[in-house]
Chain A
């Protein structure tokens, strides 16, 4: 099976293990190797820090890992899905982002990732690596780098630095 404009480059024919997760009853797949850690939102209650900013509304919290600040992205807000109550956080590997999801369905092996048809020309080209066919269902395969753009990272970093500076000044005055 393939998208119409199939060429050798139009699909990645390489079996890989993915994590199937749900957000607002929509299933997504993400490569297992791109997820560093899965935690429950309850277990992060003490370590996640509220991040009050309006520029990137899908990010409301941060978490520290290996002396780095990870931005926690609400996957529902990212994909424009209805508001839900996420129970899990996927902490990504090699990207300073973590993702709030409703639940993990299971892990699975997919045989290939098919190119998104060219008709899809919006943000989804950044969100997805392509589509997978699993158990008679087409599932979008997430591109982890698509959760936050470079510009969004820069904006969030600026806001975080400003907040940190403000805290230091407040502490010094106190």
Chain B
């Protein structure tokens, strides 16, 4: 190991915060080397067995491997250190014993325990051959292992010490272990126990028990999500009777499908899932939308029509939201008959788009194309006498706003601005967008001479507007209020 640089040394040695020096670790490191030697020599006898059956602890570390021994060395050093100062412990009988065992006895216990379980499960035929050697270690091991109660095991897991979950074999023990982990609030340990339960319990049993343990359940669900175990997750939701969640979880899968055809087919299959009533409608929409988009895309990709040459498409319409699709259709397919899938009218009807939403979208699209005629006809209604009148489900101030954002000319802006009922709103918009005529007319209608005089200062001297104000101010017919 490379020593830290001198200045680092100086810092560490002078530091008052001894808790963070690495000196202890250095000790551990040398001790680890020693124990590595010790371990290697100890293992010689067992070599044959090592080849036959791999002895691994739960976490997968081969028993007696270097990494295992490092952990064990480290923890035994730490636990002996702990004795030097008093502490309040939840399980007072346990901590002393942990360090009472020598390193070698630990190995012995561990190994024989492993040995035992393997012999029990795999070697029925050769029990006789093993039996004599097994008898003694078995009892020894039992004494030792029984000290690792659920509490002690969870405590060791939380501290990152070596532990073994194999001894928790009965359902009751497993559940005690799980409940202990949950009561200690450590998500990392809860998940570790769940992984063990997943491996050692049938899923029916596990699901049944999780149903009564919300906290553990949520950890399990999150773990499965992260592991990408979609199938099991769906089964779990089904077993729990959480059908809405199950349906959504399956629906989510569509996001992983790149090919639009496959995605469409997948969505079609989703239609039969038990969504809540409202969500079912949305998923149906999703399928219909993508189906339409695929048809529209196939036609428009070629870009034969004049409009595509004039305004080339920036992106494909696939997987765009409904409103974006409507905008697209108002932009490229305006005026098509209701019968075609790409017509605005058809999209509006299929997806039950409100009048307000439709007008907003169509207005944006037609204004972008500077089709003022189309904009006009959006708002034109005929009354019973045959007069046309402008009517809008959205405020005309909003209409002006949208027109202005699409660089509409002043005449168009003014026409719509005049339709705003509220004079104050009209004034503020007119001033914002510099529609002088409207400002002047509004002040005239309000008979506000003072404001008109003020406003005169804002228009160019000698301009058309200036003259208009001049005329008004000289007009004796008007009864000014101030």
A and B: bona fide binding partners: no
Binding site for B on A (CB under 8 A): none
